[in-house]
Homo-oligomer: A and B are copies of this chain.
Amino acid sequence: MKSDDAIMALGALAQEDRLAAFRLLMMEGSQGLPSGTIAERLDIAPTRMSFHLATLEKAGLLNTRREGRHIHYFVDYQKMRSLLGFLIEDCCGNNPAVCCFPVGVPNQETH
């Protein structure tokens, strides 16, 4: 993860509707949800939801998969791991006795 990628991702998350949508998708796992369903659950206008999901996708945090007439949006967990890893990189000079993030980011195997 480079600085520019992290800035894009953080900027994408720094908005009420997008943050809510992203957190919802985090809970849904790799199956994801279509734009319309997310808009309905969060009570956001469909046209706005499209825009916000596109922003998250351009930032690399989401991917899409078409299923029939629905487009499923789902979290790119690897990207998310990279982002968190970037933020806590070399935390406290890598001194495990002092640091609350000594491990990097967990569980590379599952996603």
- A93 to B25 alpha-carbon distance, docked (Å): 10
Whether A100 and B93, one on each chain, are in contact in the complex, defined by CB atoms closer than 8 angstroms, is no
- A98 to B29 alpha-carbon distance, docked (Å): 8
Q: How many residues of A contact B (CB 8 A)?
A: 46
A14's partner among B10, B95, B108 (CB-CB below 8 A) is B10
Among A1-59, those with CB < 8 Å from B are 3-4, 6-7, 10-11, 13-16, 19-20, 22-23, 26-30
Which residues does chain B contribute within 8 Å of A80, judged by CB atoms?
87-88
* Residues in chain A within 8 A of chain B (CB atoms): 3-4, 6-7, 10-11, 13-16, 19-20, 22-23, 26-30, 77, 80-81, 84, 86-93, 95, 97-103, 105-111
